[in-house]
Structure 1
Amino acid sequence: MSARAHVRLLTADPDHPLLAAAAALLRADGHVVDSQHPDAPERPGAPDVCLLKARTPQALALAARLEERGVPVLNPVAATAFCQDRQRMADRALAAGLPFAPTRTAGLAELAERAVHEPVVVKSLHSRRGDLVAAVHDRAGARRLAERWPGEPVVVQPLARNDGWDHKLWAVDGRLFAERRRSELAAPAAVAREELPVAALPDGWAELVRAAGEAFGLQVYGVDVLDTADGPLIVDINAFPGIRGQQGAPEALAALATAVAAGRLPSGARAA
């Protein structure tokens, strides 16, 4: 067994399946695992590594204090914060040459007063649980959103023609996982999600995941991809997503935590 590591989970939900399974593996191997709720008083002591699952301002502040004390945080605070701002995310992705959806910041009231010449997707500027993601086809639709989400800062992206499925691609220290989920913007289908073997990904998609991780400095992350007539289109990049039901994901996360605790710098994503 490797030297015993102290791993801290920074999360409001330590029973999340991915975290709970990874923690069980770590404890079975003799490592120490504790959890820190982002709204609770800060735990004493410095762990060997912190897994930053929560992404609230309080969680980022706690993780930043650990980083200041020399504790490695996965994902780093700066990288996590970058992915919470969808405009900054899009700007960085496009600057890195990734096929990211064109994105602009707008106000819902402004959008409601202007003609909508083509369908668009409206998303909350700040990515968070329960945020706004909706398709807008006309000015009336924009007005309804403005009434339900008064004052919400948003970004606007063209509604790309696609097959109606979101391709969820995840990476944990280079190991890839994938599935298809029916888009919330598409008509319902007989099934809401489907397995997607990594080996069945179209050519170049695994490389897109690797490039996204390198561009944002992420080690545990997700990339949402649409399959369009013009090729793959990235519409979101998520720091430390849930990765539920993916065989091998808890093992990959546990191995990453112990390796970083032992002093190894995490690698960029690579196809499994």
Structure 2
Amino acid sequence: MSKYLVFMDLDGTLLSSDHKHISVRNKAAIETLQQHDVRFYIATGRMYELAKITQNLLNPEVGLITSNGAVFDGVSGREVTLMGSKTVELAYQITQVNKLPMMLFTPEKAYFTEKIPHFIAQNAGNFDEAFGYKEIANLKELQQVAGEITNGVVLSRGDMDELEQAKAKLADSKLLRLSSSGPDNIEMIPLKTDKGTAIQQIQWEQHVDAAHTFVFGDGMNDLGMMKQAKYSVAMGNGVKTVKEQANYVTDTNEKDGIATFLENFFKDEF
């Protein structure tokens, strides 16, 4: 049985600023603590198959919370919460007003409704050159997959007013939970679902309480999980609100903030 649980966001937290690499020091700290019954989880807005790319940089013992909590590794297998066809179709209608790019995800597949500039998609943390995306050309095509969607992200093309208008309409629907991994996107998640709800379920399944739980994050979509751990840790590069909500602040992702905190905490324990 695990003594501690550690949940790590990816972009801006575990990964370097290129969104692809884990430092040698962070990897070593994780592997060392895994030998002492510390269980690690990636906790990300990325879809399941895309998050596995990062998991493969570590090891299979690292669990996954993906799609902002809609898809995660439970003790009996992968657990999935869907957005619902009605919600997905409404999001499509709202984003089509100003042709805002929208990316929609199942655990294994990804779809887009408008052509997405490479740098925007990459910065949203939902893009990998080796991963295929299918275009949704119209509502009829969307309806064929709407019942499989777990989460989505709406991206700005530079006009923040358009993004705010879409966000207001989505919020008014009361059909989904909204968050953000950055100022230029809207994360869409099923109601009553976020990284924090996934952590609660894992804590219950693993019989590990908040007093033995760590979370590391930097963005607004990490706020939910900050409430589920005694050791809620904001990255030095994190947004102001996350730093205010967290119980601790560590170094930046580029300065191995996760390893810095864990090495200091466990230096006399193991």
TM-score scaled by length of structure 1: 0.30
Bigger fraction of residues in strand: 1
Q: Bigger radius of gyration, 1 or 2?
A: 1
TM-score by length of 2: 0.31
Which structure: greater helix fraction?
A: 2
